[in-house]
A and B are shown apart, each in its own frame.
Chain A
Amino acid sequence: NAGVMQNPRHLVRRRGQEARLRCSPMKGHSHVYWYRQLPEEGLKFMVYLQKENIIDESGMPKERFSAEFPKEGPSILRIQQVVRGDSAAYFCASSPNGQGGEAFFGQGTRLTVV
Chain B
Amino acid sequence: SQKIEQNSEALNIQEGKTATLTCNYTNYSPAYLQWYRQDPGRGPVFLLLIRENEKEKRKERLKVTFDTTLKQSLFHITASQPADSATYLCAPGNTGFQKLVFGTGTRLLVSP
Contacts and interface: CB of A to CB of B under 8 A. Distances in A.
Given A33-B100, A42-B89, A43-B89, A100 B31 contact: yes
Contact of A42 (B31, B46, B102): B102
Interface residues of B, number: 24
Interface in A42-78: 42-43, 45, 48, 50, 55-56, 58-59
Interface SS of B by simple majority: loop
A111 to B, nearest CB: 14
Interface stretch (B12-20, B70-78, B91-99): B91-99
Contact of B93 (A50, A100, A108): A100
25 contacts: A35-B102, A41-B104, A42-B89, A43-B105, A48-B97, A48-B100, A56-B98, A56-B99, A58-B99, A59-B99, A91-B43, A93-B44, A95-B100, A98-B96, A98-B98, A99-B96, A100-B31, A100-B94, A100-B96, A101-B49, A102-B49, A103-B100, A104-B46, A105-B43, A108-B41
Interface of B: 31-32, 34, 41-46, 49, 89, 93-105
